[in-house]
Structure 1
Amino acid sequence: MTALPPAPPRNAEELARAVARDGVEFLLVMFVNLHGRPCAKLAPVRTLDQLLSEGLGFAGNCAGGLGQSSGDPDLVAIPDVTSYAKVPLQEGLGIIQCDLYVEGRPWPYAPRWILREQIARLADQGRELKVGAEPEYFLVKRAEDGSIAVADELDTAPSPGYDAGAATRSFDHLSTVSRAIDALGWENYSNDHEDANGQFEHNFGYAEALRTADRVVVFRHLARMAAQRSGLVATFMPKPFGHLTGSGLHLHVSLWEGDTSLFTDPGDPRGLGTSKLGYSFIAGLLEHAPGLLALTCPTVNSYKRLSAGADTRSRSSWAPGYATYGGNNRTHLVRIPDTGRIEVRCVDAAANPYLAIAGIAAAGADGIARGADPGDPLTGDLEAAGAAAGLRPLPPTLLHAVDELARDGALREALGKVPGGEYADYYAAVKREEFAEFHRQVTAWEIERYLLV
């Protein structure tokens, strides 16, 4: 029987013992910016006491997406000792996630603080949000001209989901990532080839919301490390290939009071085993979905995944087009696969996990506070019948979603205030500029279509 990994450290003394036990010589002192990009410095473990007491300074404008200019004081990254993990793929290296401060105060532009605030609000009500993540990504190779192709040249089946041959050919990569997840104590329980050629998913156990967000950040880093060692790229770009299904980050969400699941009701008259409070949480998600998408599908490319529909090779997008919910039906924005939890399917592979989970928590909490009800669940294939049913489509582009976010009072309040205004406006400004930069490009499609008009 494989020994269970040690419990995470709870304080500075336990962290010191853990890094010594693990033979760690350096720590990646890490945080993410608005875009979810991990930023870090490499700190020798011999500086651990100073690191924990004083933190490490960063030029916030250099990291980007953190509300700083070149003239602002340093961001100071203070490690959260409970987030420590030995990096299974690199001897002598550990990772620790940090909270950001400026001049001794929490920096409200930091996504980890934004999620912490939502967790604290739930804790004030005696509630805890738990989340499981299903990260998807493509394994690709890049040519000298910058173009990309599926890494496995034999992975060409029109419907490659769960393809045993493709999984076996990628065994070295998949097993390396699986062993790394298990070494971290995340309880990896499956690794599979997804619906698109070259697309994979790894599943691991659920945890408290902040811990799962940390794990998503570390997972992406590990998957990229493993791919790079084989001369490949693990990309979490939602839609790298126009003709293939895109990559999601489906989140399984449950709300707890102690050991009691607040989403569970065996006597549910709708037959889905979900409580009235759970339905109110779902209603909040559906009502706030247009603005929530700006956080859960945060790139220009994200909306090419959402609108793919039957244009993909497998004839399915596996992404919601409408703000709907149902039972064990993967065409909805919210799926109820089992009693006690819901699956939020409007999150894609590029999402900043801290902001996405914070938005989900806030939208659901607003639904609970108002006692909202989502109505009866819908059935059938929404990809095929959604428009015919008269349902309102989700925002078609990042720009539309950002405008919805800016108008959403509950999400605006959840994202909080920052120096000189509100984070929602800062986020919207960053994303509008991202869209504008994209819109200024002249593409090959435009040349082909309009050159001789």
Structure 2
Amino acid sequence: MVSSLTQPQVTPGSLPSDPAALRDHLQRRGVRYALASFVDLHGIGKAKAVPIDHLPDMLAGSELFTGAALDGVPQDVTDDEVAAIPDPASTTVLPWRPDVAWLASDLHLHGQPFEACSRSILGRVRQQAAAMGFRFQLGIETEFFVLRRSADGTLEPASHRDTLDKPCYDLIGLLDNLDWLDELVQAMNSLGWSVYSFDHEDGNGQFEVDFAYADVLTMADRLIFFRLMAKEIAQRHGLIASFMPKPFANRTGSGAHYNMSLADLNSGSNLFAPEAGEDGGISQLARQFIAGVLRHAPAICAVIAPTVNSYKRLVMQGSMSGFTWAPVFISYGNNNRTNMLRIPSAGSRLECRAADISCNPYLGSALMLAAGLEGIRKQLDPGPPNLDNAYTLSPEERQRRGLTLLPRTLEEAIDSFAADPLCRSVFGDAMFDAFVTYKRQEWADYHGSISEWERQRYLEFF
């Protein structure tokens, strides 16, 4: 099936900045409604819609929201509402619904930025980077499952032929899913995202779509929009797109690898590229960034791997194809995929492999960037890289090399987050307290639940 989503869409950079002019521009494109959208603690989109005639009012903050009704918008029921202030530069017409435009928004309270807004938290750290002369460039690899519900209610791959024990790069599985994949890729390219590859991943029903990196705020906005778009397009094909990190115990989980570099704010040159005489495929500045991230890795893990389920992905073994391809150690190295931080063979960037696709990209990239900037300010040294397969090293050898484990559960990660002063300084008091409280309750709820595994193992055993 040839995608119907081939008409060029409104893309950032081609938009008038004046509110009335933007309204008229969108009206001429057939847009009838605009969405003032923001995210909750989980990175799940929330919005109000206005008829396009009211776009100037919406841009001025006319749309109010009761924070107490949402996770991670820390307000009491007696507090005044927060206002969504859309970023006009983020205006994106929905490729599958071209009469609707989506605008990423920052939250304000009483005319001032709301401290606990996820997008604003990233904005604050982004400003710190700019004050140091840096622009944080980010690419996120999107891994996710697309499934169908069978007659008995269970979930299975969209293609009945997607059954290989090692399905990574499976051509038949890719072609069987090309209808919805084509629609998704065409939509992304119509928005100017420059998709450069997509493939069947290592789990049955799992796929990855890779597209061009961008400034960190733009990339975070795009990941939020991507998850919405993938769900909506999959639904049009009678399918379910899932961004759960680990839907199946015997299959690999879905990462959202952060590919990171710092650019000079003025020249745009990549500051992670090594200069003459520097070895290791990366600059001294990048090594300092690495050291900052490793120093705060346990706390960062709570934000880039934010669910109970996330820690069922961060294991060495468990998939039918062998290794899980997910890191479990706080380490960095070359093209070695067993490290938390990988330096790809092409160099000039870092890849954090601990992040999964359920993360809130505003919060995850904010804490990652803040840790890296601390490493640069303090000129930290990450020590020697790990160049070996960390999965296969003996416990004694890991200890000798100083390879320590990432948190093994959400509880461990949240304890690390709560104990790290950097987290409160980045999140602010309100979001820090809300995040810790919510995630500790999430762990308590999980720990107190009774699973089917427990019933099968114990019900008639004792």
Same fold (TM over 0.5): yes
Greater shift after overlay, 373-382 or 435-444?
Answer: 373-382
Q: 3-state DSSP class of the match of 1:435?
A: helix
Q: Deviations over 1:181-210 (max 9, x none)?
A: 001111111111111111011111111110
Question: Structure 1 pair 300/255, CA: closer, same or farther in 2 (3 Å)?
Answer: same
Q: Deviations over 1:260-305 (max 9, x none)?
A: 2211214354331x11111000011111110100000000000000
Instruction: Kindly state the Cα deviation for residue 386 of structure 1 after the two structures are TM-superposed.
Output: 6.7
Q: Deviations over 1:335-383 (max 9, x none)?
A: 1113321111111010000001001101101111111111121112222
Matching residue of 1:179: 186
- Structure 2 residue 415 is matched with structure 1 residue 403: yes
- Structure 2 residue 227 is matched with structure 1 residue 214: no
Normalised to the residue count of structure 2, the TM-score between the two structures is 0.93
Choose from 306, 312, 318 the match for 2:319.
312
Choose from 11, 15, 27 the match for 1:9.
15
Greater shift after overlay, 329-338 or 236-245?
Answer: 329-338
Give, in whole Å, the separation in 2 of the partners of 1:170 and 1:386.
41
Q: 3-state DSSP class of the match of 1:99?
A: strand
Give, in whole Å, the separation in 1 of the partners of 2:21 and 2:355.
35
Q: Deviations over 1:371-413 (max 9, x none)?
A: 1111121112222327452221111100100000111122221
Choose from 341, 354, 358 the match for 2:362.
354
Matching residue of 2:100: 93
Give, in whole Å, the separation in 1 of the partners of 2:394 and 2:85.
47
Give, in whole Å, the separation in 2 of the partners of 1:10 and 1:362.
33
Give, in whole Å, the separation in 2 of the partners of 1:269 and 1:135.
32
Give, in whole Å, the separation in 2 of the partners of 1:410 and 1:66.
20
Question: Structure 1 pair 5/383, CA: closer, same or farther in 2 (3 Å)?
Answer: farther
Matching residue of 1:383: 391
Choose from 282, 289, 293 the match for 2:290.
282
Q: Say whether the 8 Å CA contact 2:93–2:102 is kept in structure 1.
A: yes
- Structure 2 residue 441 is matched with structure 1 residue 394: no
1:239 alignment partner AA: K
Q: Deviations over 1:137-161 (max 9, x none)?
A: 0001235765322222211111111
- Structure 2 residue 197 is matched with structure 1 residue 193: no
Choose from 372, 376, 397 the match for 1:364.
372
Matching residue of 2:457: 449
Point out where structure 2 has 5 or more consecutive residues left out of the alignment: 1-6
Matching residue of 2:248: 241
Instruction: Kindly state the Cα deviation for residue 3 of structure 1 after the two structures are TM-superposed.
Output: 7.5
Matching residue of 2:149: 142
Give, in whole Å, the separation in 2 of the partners of 1:293 and 1:54.
34
Question: Structure 1 pair 5/107, CA: closer, same or farther in 2 (3 Å)?
Answer: closer
Question: Structure 1 pair 227/141, CA: closer, same or farther in 2 (3 Å)?
Answer: same
Give, in whole Å, the separation in 1 of the partners of 2:287 and 2:80.
45
Instruction: Kindly state the Cα deviation for residue 173 of structure 1 after the two structures are TM-superposed.
Output: 0.9
Matching residue of 1:69: 76
Matching residue of 1:265: 274
Instruction: Kindly state the Cα deviation for residue 334 of structure 1 after the two structures are TM-superposed.
Output: 0.7
Q: 3-state DSSP class of the match of 2:194?
A: coil
Q: Say whether the 8 Å CA contact 2:9–2:93 is kept in structure 1.
A: no
Choose from 85, 106, 113 the match for 1:78.
85
Matching residue of 2:165: 158
- Structure 2 residue 428 is matched with structure 1 residue 416: yes
Q: Say whether the 8 Å CA contact 2:161–2:172 is kept in structure 1.
A: no
Give, in whole Å, the separation in 1 of the partners of 2:446 and 2:153.
18
1:267 alignment partner AA: A
Matching residue of 1:106: 113
Instruction: Kindly state the Cα deviation for residue 108 of structure 1 after the two structures are TM-superposed.
Output: 1.3
Q: 3-state DSSP class of the match of 2:299?
A: helix
Q: Deviations over 1:85-124 (max 9, x none)?
A: 1111113111111110122221111100110000011111
Greater shift after overlay, 70-79 or 199-208?
Answer: 70-79
Choose from 436, 441, 448 the match for 1:440.
448
Give, in whole Å, the separation in 1 of the partners of 2:426 and 2:147.
37
Q: Deviations over 1:402-436 (max 9, x none)?
A: 00011112222111233xxxx32321111000111
Q: Say whether the 8 Å CA contact 2:143–2:254 is kept in structure 1.
A: yes
- State, as a whole percentage, how many aligned pairs show the same letter: 38
Instruction: Kindly state the Cα deviation for residue 162 of structure 1 after the two structures are TM-superposed.
Output: 1.0
Greater shift after overlay, 258-267 or 22-31?
Answer: 258-267
1:86 alignment partner AA: V
Point out where structure 1 has 5 or more consecutive residues left out of the alignment: none
Q: Say whether the 8 Å CA contact 1:366–1:410 is kept in structure 2.
A: no
Q: 3-state DSSP class of the match of 1:191?
A: strand
Question: Structure 1 pair 434/382, CA: closer, same or farther in 2 (3 Å)?
Answer: same
Q: Say whether the 8 Å CA contact 1:322–1:386 is kept in structure 2.
A: no
1:263 alignment partner AA: F
Matching residue of 1:425: 433
> Pairwise CA RMSD of aligned residues?
1.9
Instruction: Kindly state the Cα deviation for residue 69 of structure 1 after the two structures are TM-superposed.
Output: 2.7
Normalised to the residue count of structure 1, the TM-score between the two structures is 0.95
